[in-house]
Amino acid sequence: MQDVELLMPAGNLEKLEYAVRYGANAVYLGVVDFSLRAMRKGSLITMDNLKQAIDLAHSLGAKAYVTINIFAFNSDIKALEASMDRFKDAKPDAFIISDYGILNLIKRNIPDVPIHISTQTNTLNYESVKFWRDLGASRAILARELPIADIAEIRRQVPDIELECFVHGAQCVSFSGRCLLSDYFSKGERKANHGNCTQPCRWSYKLVEETRPGEYLEINQDDRGSHILSPKDLCLVKQLPQLIEAGVDSLKVEGRTKSLYYVSAVAKAYRGAIDDVLKNPTADLEKYFIELQKVGNRGYTTGFALGDNSGESYSYNISKGLAGADFLCEFKSSDEASVNFDNSQQNGEKYFPVKIKNKMLVGDEVEVITPNEQFTAKVEGIKNEDGEDLPLGNTNDDVYVKFSQSPKEPKYALVRTIGVKNVH
């Protein structure tokens, strides 16, 4: 089998680094106002730090693709025209676009940078792929609605272009994300295709008969709720052998608004699965599916990949992703990896500075993951900065924790609960 790229989202600079450390070959990142995800917290990627973000990816040996996949109005084109020099100076490895006008701008102003055609173009067939290839695109990001068999046929018909497809993450109840629900519900103030979707497909709905105002009826006549528009999340980790065999060059994970833990854990799982498949196409991938249940999800589906998409692909009872494991703490970057609070002890007790994400108690059994490790350990002690013993660490506390086993790479270590709960 050929080498295949794991492409992870980079919602901010920290997530970019963790995505690559945990296994991504490449990241895609959007600049505020020019992509379909409006980030609201963290070290946001803007025109001012775009070059810094791309340089960071390159320094870690990864590629960085800049997403400019809005459907552009005249005002957007003017803003982009004024930004072309800064995009050029940032030296991305490719631009991801969906708008013909933006395509023209890139080709005219930055002709040497490859162009990837966004999934927003609804590319479903080999003639469309040929069309984009003939316009100069080096990669087509295929629509989520394609069965793997169709992807294989596209590869046979068009062997001279890279193919990318989504393998994991949230889905829209729309055709390849082209949705107007948010526009209508917000009276045009929250446009989905300008990065500010209100996600009305995740809302719970009731039915009202027009002659009986105020009498609301459940749309579903069962006990699963009324989230009639909310698809389950995509998970194709067990279909990786078929996808790679079909000729997919890049496997993409959705989630620029997801947490650092989500990005890290998903990258680690898919990195391990891809490596196993490349060594052995018949490798058992069930353990990676279990790992992916430990991150937030609305239940998993294979979507259209196997050609059998149905009502079972919808999450009728929940709208928000529930994680199968609680993210407990993140090891803080520090010049001093650990602290010995009792220098009189012969061996000392190493306490690591952490940021608590969910309450963690002394005595808890936990799972520690790093880019190259995964093991269970016991929380043997928690101290504050003055070295005083604490019974627990509360959410958002900065504390020092001693584990029964220490990670070899503490700078990028994350801690979560053991096992899987909330299986949908």
Query: For the chain, what percent of residues have pLDDT higher than 90?
Result: 67
pLDDT value for 163: 98
Strand, coil or helix: what is 118? coil
Report the first-to-last Cα separation within the chain, whole angstroms: 33
| Measured distance CA(360)–CA(395) in Å, rounded | 8
Contacts of 365 (CB under 8 A, 6+ apart): 376, 377, 378, 379, 418
Determine the pLDDT at residue 256.
Answer: 83
- pLDDT tens track for 75-132: 999 999 999 999 999 999 999 999 999 999 999 999 999 999 999 899 999 999 999 9
- So what's the pLDDT on residue 3? 87
Task: State the Cα–Cα distance between residues 257 and 45, nearest whole angstrom.
Answer: 12
Which pLDDT score, from 0 to 100, does residue 41 have? Answer: 54
Residue type, 180: L
**Three-state DSSP class for 333?**
coil
Segment 403-417 shows an average pLDDT of 94
DSSP-derived secondary structure for 92-111: -SEEEE--HHHHHHHHHH-T
Q: Report the distance separating Cα 200 and Cα 230, nearest Å.
A: 9
- pLDDT of the residue at 315: 63
Short-list 350, 349, 347, 382, CA closest to 363: 382
Contact 200, 182 (CB under 8 A): yes
pLDDT at 184: 64
- pLDDT computed for residue 232 by the predictor: 86
Q: Give the per-residue pLDDT at 105.
A: 96
Residue 392 reports pLDDT greater than 80: yes
Mind giving me the DSSP string for 247-286?
T--EEEE--TTS-HHHHHHHHHHHHHHHHHHHH-TT---H
* Mean of pLDDT values over 179-190: 70
Q: What is the pLDDT of residues 310-335, one digit of tens each?
A: 766 666 566 567 889 999 999 987 65
Decide if pLDDT at 176 tops 70.
Answer: no
Is this prediction's pTM over 0.85? yes
Residue 362 contacts by C-beta under 8 Å, 6 or more apart in sequence?
Answer: 379, 380, 381, 382, 390, 391, 392
What is the pLDDT, as a whole number, of residue 344?
A: 44
Q: Which two tokens stand for residue 135?
A: 């316009």
pLDDT in tens, 234-259: 999 999 999 999 999 999 999 888 99
| All structural domains of the chain | 5-193+229-313 (3.20.20.70), 327-417 (2.40.30.10)
Identify the pLDDT of residue 66.
97
For 127, counting Cβ atoms within 10 Å of its Cβ (0-12 exposed, 13-18 middle, 19+ buried), the class is exposed
Cα(362)–Cα(268) distance, rounded to whole angstroms?
A: 27
Count how many Cα atoms sit within 13 Å of the Cα of residue 33 in the half-sphere of its side chain: 10
Mapped onto helix, strand or coil, the DSSP state of residue 75 is: helix
What is the pLDDT, as a whole number, of residue 217?
Answer: 59
Report the pLDDT value the prediction gives residue 193, as an integer from 0 to 100. 66
Q: Bigger pLDDT: 216 or 146?
A: 146
Mean pLDDT of all residues in 292-299: 92
**Other residues' Cβ atoms within 10 Å of the Cβ of residue 350:** 16
Mean pLDDT across the chain: 88
Render pLDDT for 26-60 as a digit per residue (tens, 0 to 9). Answer: 999 988 767 655 555 556 888 999 999 999 999 99
Q: What is the pLDDT of residue 42?
A: 56
Task: Please check the confidence at residue 221 and state whether its pLDDT lies above 60.
Answer: no
Percent of the chain with pLDDT over 70: 82
C-alpha span between 283 and 277 (Å, rounded): 6
Using the structure block, give the residue that is written with the tokens 């050929």.
2
Residue 225 has pLDDT above 60, yes or no: no
62 near 31, Cβ under 8 Å? no
DSSP line for 189-241: SS-GGGT----GGGS--EEE-TTSTT-EEESSSSTT-S-TT-BPEEE-GGGHH
Beta strand 63-68 pairing with 414-417: unpaired
